[in-house]
Structure 1
Amino acid sequence: MNTTPTPATWRKSSHSNTERECVELAALGGAVGIRDSKAPDAGTLLLSRRALARLLTTV
């Protein structure tokens, strides 16, 4: 089930390829949505901005 609030403006890196094989992000109020561009209706991971910053620092 996709629980993404609408409307969301999904963005991906300008370095991603044209075959839609990337991760997309959207600002959703105080959270950030993350989804697979190949399967946008498969679901969305919602993280707080702080949690996303920690994830990116760790990766």
Structure 2
Amino acid sequence: MEQLKTEKKVTKLERERNVELKKAKLDATKRGNDIVMEQKQNEVETAQDIHQNIKEIPRV
């Protein structure tokens, strides 16, 4: 009987740990996605700045 309680407790702890690991993995993925989106936004802004500068350069 005692062994059964211990096994149930271990199983419960393993499930909780797995849930925490999945949450951590999702958080890391979200942070990674946020970083990628920020980099893409910076690339777009840089391209827009370059395009604007080209338009403003007087032609000779």
Which protein has the larger Cα radius of gyration, Structure 1 or Structure 2?
A: 2
Q: Same fold (TM over 0.5)?
A: no
Structure whose residues are more often strand by fraction: 1
With a CA cutoff of 8 Å and minimum separation of 6, indicate the structure with the bigger relative contact order: 1
Into which bin does the TM-score normalised by the smaller protein fall?
Answer: under 0.3
Give the TM-score normalised by structure 1: 0.22
Give the TM-score normalised by structure 2: 0.21
Structure whose residues are more often helix by fraction: 2
